[in-house]
């Protein structure tokens, strides 16, 4: 019985799904056109770190305020 269901499902599934669009990623394997400077890289890391660590640091520093019930 499971074999029959598997066969029916494998033949019916493509019809029910309809037309599917395949997506491909645009990957480039060449070296970059421009070299990113140390200053630009440093600024990017600082902004990334601030956006990740800033909100979590705020929550941790105000944890006692969140525990209080008014």
59: in domain: yes
13: in domain: no
pLDDT of residue 45: 97
pLDDT of residue 20: 66
2: in domain: no
Tally of residues, the chain:
70
21: in domain: no
Instruction: Classify residue 34 by its DSSP letter.
Output: S
Its pTM stands at 0.49
pLDDT digits 0-9 by tens, 7-65: 877 877 777 777 666 777 788 788 888 999 999 999 999 999 999 999 999 999 999 98
Domain extent at residue 41 = 36-69
Count of Cβ atoms closer than 10 Å to residue 59 Cβ: 11
- 1 pLDDT above the threshold of 70: no
41: in domain: yes
29: in domain: no
Angle among Cα 43, 44, 47 to the nearest 5 degrees reads 85
54: in domain: yes
């Amino acid at each position: 019985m499971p074999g029959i269901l598997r066969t029916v499902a494998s033949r019916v599934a493509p019809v029910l799904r309809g037309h599917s669009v395949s997506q491909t990623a645009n990957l480039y394997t060449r070296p970059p056109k421009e070299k990113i400077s140390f200053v630009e890289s440093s600024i990017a890391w600082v902004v990334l770190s601030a956006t990740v660590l800033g909100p979590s640091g705020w929550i941790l520093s105000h944890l006692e305020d969140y525990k209080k019930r008014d």
